[in-house]
Structure 1
Amino acid sequence: MKSILALLALLLSFPVAAAQLTIELDHTRQTWQTADLLKHPQAQTVQIVDDVSYKHNMTYRAVPLAALLSGLKPQSHLQAVALDGFAAELSAAPLLEKTGARAWLAVEDPARPWPALAQGKPSAGPFYLVWTHPEAGHISPEQWPFQVSRIKQLQTVAERFPALLPDPTLAADDQVNQGFALFQKNCLACHRLNGAGDAQVGPDLNIPYNPTEYFGGDFLKRYIRDPQSLRHWPQAKMPAFAASVLPEHELDLLLDYLRHMAGRKL
């Protein structure tokens, strides 16, 4: 027994291993090592107020994400893939901003590992997309992917997954289409719909049943606002979407999209 405890203590004493991040753009592909990013000429120490994942202020060594996306156009579309299957869909324009809400790639130093996200869980490393002044860009929690292993340029969600599209006869500014845009920003990182999407974290939101079909009254809204208040279990991953992140009128638009798609099952 003592030898087992000694072995565990030895393993826990080892520093976090270095990692690598692959960035695949249409015009280039590059793999970055932890050490290279920590020594990047634009790397600096950044203070993150009320970090989305850690729920308190954090300090990171980070590189402006725009510095790693040279040549990318604002109208492009990216996906950040995490080690656990989380796949964040990201419009390039906010990532390239140098003022207001600014995106940073935080890099976990093996010599100074970050704390665990929760008891029994790993840290947010090795790479974590964080934001300074996120309130200036209306940045949602799904735009803070952690444990990132790859960032790749892709076609838009609508081009890749036509099964997600609302009725094509609807006007571009219809409430359902506005809700579709919010679904891409806030939900698609964890959920699929009609079997379409790259995420492998949460359940499909239309097959076999759409949540608007089994959440009565205002319970779906309450669940989105605070999942643990309706379904509490230790391993739950869905974050709470406060009104500061998803205002009430936007939540209504998101639900309009889900209700609409309940009638468009594949």
Structure 2
Amino acid sequence: MDGDYLKALIVFGALLLSMPLSAAQLDLQLGANSRIWQTEELLKHPQVQTLTVKDDVSYKKDMTYRAVPVAALLGGIKPEDHLQAVALDGFAAELAAAPLLNTQGSRAWLAIEDPAHPWPPLSAGKHSAGPFYLVWTDPQAGNISPEQWPFEVASIKRMAPVAERFPALLPDPALKADDPVNQGFALFQKNCLACHRLNGAGDAQFGPDLNIPYNPTEYFGADFLKRYIRDPQSLRQWPQAKMPGFSAQVLPEEDLQMLVGYLKHMVGRKVKP
């Protein structure tokens, strides 16, 4: 590649970065209440407000947004429903509807990036969390995990429950409903399924499969798997690492034990994709 061509590419890239953001659209696929919202419509929503989020999960600092309560956008959705928030890059967060519908305690908000006032990039060379970002106020009250803060959201869809869509994820059906393994399966859906598949099942495009060819409980010794889940960078570091740590506040020790218990259980239930 000659020098002039390289310079032209650099100038063009700088020009793109300097251009103002364009408006975006959010696709809500909710059955009879499906709707496509434009940025301008959401910024004029009757319930939009200026919201300060303390210690934002993605930006690692306090952030102020224009935001609408997610519950105000989910017409016809019931607490027992299941939703999936899909990001522009394919990240798919599995979300129980009940917490999204809360009006007290932990509350979910759709933050809207105004093209006239863009948010900062998430890190050097990266995009912002926009155009739409699902954020929470008082997340500790509901044990909201980092995976429940999807950014660059493009659509929110009502889906069949994970267990129906991906039977290869299911523990032994002979186990009682309240068995710790089944509780661990629920925690896996909440905290892991947005980035990982298991037995080839799931919509994730990011992390490795957690059972094929090997389950992490098969190659992490002693309590190193728990340590890895708590703080991935404490065990291995590389520039493109994306896995967040799960603090005891987000994933209490008893929950972590049940999550690892589910993974151990699934070693005996491998199903090759």
Q: TM-score normalized by structure 1?
A: 0.97
Q: Give the aligned length.
A: 266
- One-letter code aligned to 1:121: K
Where structure 1 has 5 or more consecutive residues not aligned to the other structure, the ranges are: none
For residues 27-62 of structure 1, what are the alpha-carbon distances to aligned partners after superposition, in whole Å with 9 as ceiling and x for unaligned? Answer: 222111111111111111000000000010000001
Instruction: Give the match's secondary structure for 2:247.
Output: coil
- One-letter code aligned to 1:154: M
Q: CA deviation at 1:117?
A: 0.8
d(CA) in 1 for partners of 2:42, 2:200: 36
Query: 1:22 aligns to what?
Result: 27
For residues 151-176 of structure 1, what are the alpha-carbon distances to aligned partners after superposition, in whole Å with 9 as ceiling and x for unaligned? Answer: 00011111111100000001111110
Q: Quick check: 2:33–2:76 contact (8 Å CA) kept in 1?
A: no
Query: 1:195 aligns to what?
Result: 200
Instruction: Give the match's secondary structure for 1:27.
Output: helix
- One-letter code aligned to 1:116: P
Instruction: Give the match's secondary structure for 1:31.
Output: strand
Seq. identity, %: 73
Does 2:190 align with 1:185? yes
Among 142, 152, 169, which residue is 2:157 paired with? 152
Among 117, 125, 129, which residue is 1:120 paired with? 125
Instruction: Give the match's secondary structure for 1:180.
Output: helix
Instruction: Give the match's secondary structure for 2:269.
Output: coil
Q: Which runs of 4+ in 1 moved over 6 A?
A: none
Q: How does 1:132-151 map to 2 (within 5 A)?
A: 132-151=137-156
Among 9, 19, 32, which residue is 2:37 paired with? 32
Q: CA deviation at 1:4?
A: 5.7
| Aligned alpha-carbon RMSD (Å) | 1.2
Among 210, 215, 223, which residue is 1:210 paired with? 215
Query: 1:227 aligns to what?
Result: 232
Does 2:186 align with 1:174? no
- One-letter code aligned to 1:126: P
d(CA) in 2 for partners of 1:137, 1:128: 19
C-alpha change, 1:218 and 1:12, in structure 2 (3 Å) is same
Q: CA deviation at 1:8?
A: 4.2
- One-letter code aligned to 2:211: N
- One-letter code aligned to 2:202: G
C-alpha change, 1:28 and 1:135, in structure 2 (3 Å) is same
Q: TM-score normalized by structure 2?
A: 0.94
Query: 1:66 aligns to what?
Result: 71
